[in-house]
Amino acid sequence: MSSRHDAERGGPTSPLASPLDGAAEPYVLRSPTVAETPVIVEVPHAGLAVDAASMRHLVAPIRSIARDADFEVHRVYEVAPACGASLLVATHSRFVVDLNRARDDYDGLTVDGGPERVQPRGVVWRLTTDGEPMLSRRLDPSELERRLRAFYDPYHACLAELIEAKRRVFGFAIVLAGHSMPSSGRRGHVDVGTGRADVVPGTRGHSTAARGLIGRIDAVAARHGLSVAHDTPYRGGHNTQRWGRPDEGVHALQVELARRLYLDDEELSVVPGGLASAQRFVAELLTELGRWRPETEPSRGVSSP
């Protein structure tokens, strides 16, 4: 894989964690540091940066930026390049633009002249998960377009380029969407107060990836003593649905990690021992995914629910 983006996005030796708070660039890309595999890890929700133009519209409490981010999950996935995977991490907060939504996913209460439907947390959010207002006023369509062009389009163009590059080299690509989730449902979630599994693979009813890939998540989690619940409460977001086309050689899996594995949920502070354990799990998972080949699958190649 070419390292062109590494040079453009801060260089391969710059620390991954530092650009996410105040970065001007829309993403950080790290190329594999060992033999390349077909795996791409994309992390769309770890960023915390808010650009000046977006900040003028933002009224949400500052803590909500962290609470509604996949806080510090990029640190769990820092191991990806050493496992042969390409690593793409968004730098900006989902309060600027949500990269795991469709480009046209918004409503008329968020953007002037928008569709007459209810979508408070689309490609631009107007309510936090806790139900607090985020925007001082509806966005002008030109402001929406500015955000999409500045942050959304470059990220998705890079992801599309990575997928095609992997397909050229290997004949297929594996996209792992790296997320984290509150350890139990919060206000604004469908499962308020309910404890969640350690690992939630989202594959939209086992439809976005081959059964052998999905099964490797279960196997690695079991070896690490982690509980697994498929598609509950997250089935796989826009990116997994968009790119998960196993019959066309693109396998997509969303992996949600309970924050308790590496983070103090309330204090929003990393637990060093937990971070190291989560990294070991991710490293083994990425290694196992990278070893998978389509010819090992039954002829259909897609798991039934």
* Candidate from 199-203, 292-296, 297-301 with smallest mean pLDDT: 297-301
Query: Does residue 302 sit within a domain?
Result: no
Q: Is the pTM of this model over 0.75?
A: yes
Query: Does residue 301 sit within a domain?
Result: no
In this prediction, residue 20 carries a pLDDT of 54
Query: Does residue 284 sit within a domain?
Result: yes
* Candidate from 20-29, 190-199, 204-213, 218-227 with smallest mean pLDDT: 20-29
Range of the domain at 16: 4-296
Could you tell me what percent of the chain has a pLDDT over 70? 89
Give dist(CA 255, CA 218) in Å, integer: 11
How many residues appear in the chain?
A: 305
Of residues 97, 78, 96, the one with CA closest to residue 88: 78
Mind listing the pLDDT tens digit for each residue in 214-223?
999 999 999 9
Query: Does residue 76 sit within a domain?
Result: yes
Give the count of domains, the chain: 1
Query: Does residue 178 sit within a domain?
Result: yes
Mind listing the pLDDT tens digit for each residue in 279-298?
999 999 999 999 999 998 87
Q: Is the pLDDT of residue 10 over 70?
A: no
In this prediction, residue 184 carries a pLDDT of 76
Could you tell me the CATH number of the domain that includes residue 244? 3.40.630.40
Give dist(CA 198, CA 93) in Å, integer: 24
- For every residue of 153-217, DSSP letters joined together read HHHHHHHHHHHHHHHHHHS-EEEEEEEEE-SBBPTTSTTBT-B--SEEEE-TTTTSS-HHHHHHH
Query: Does residue 8 sit within a domain?
Result: yes
Query: Does residue 40 sit within a domain?
Result: yes
Query: Does residue 14 sit within a domain?
Result: yes
Greater confidence (265 vs 289) lies with 289
In this prediction, residue 23 carries a pLDDT of 63
Give dist(CA 255, CA 252) in Å, integer: 10
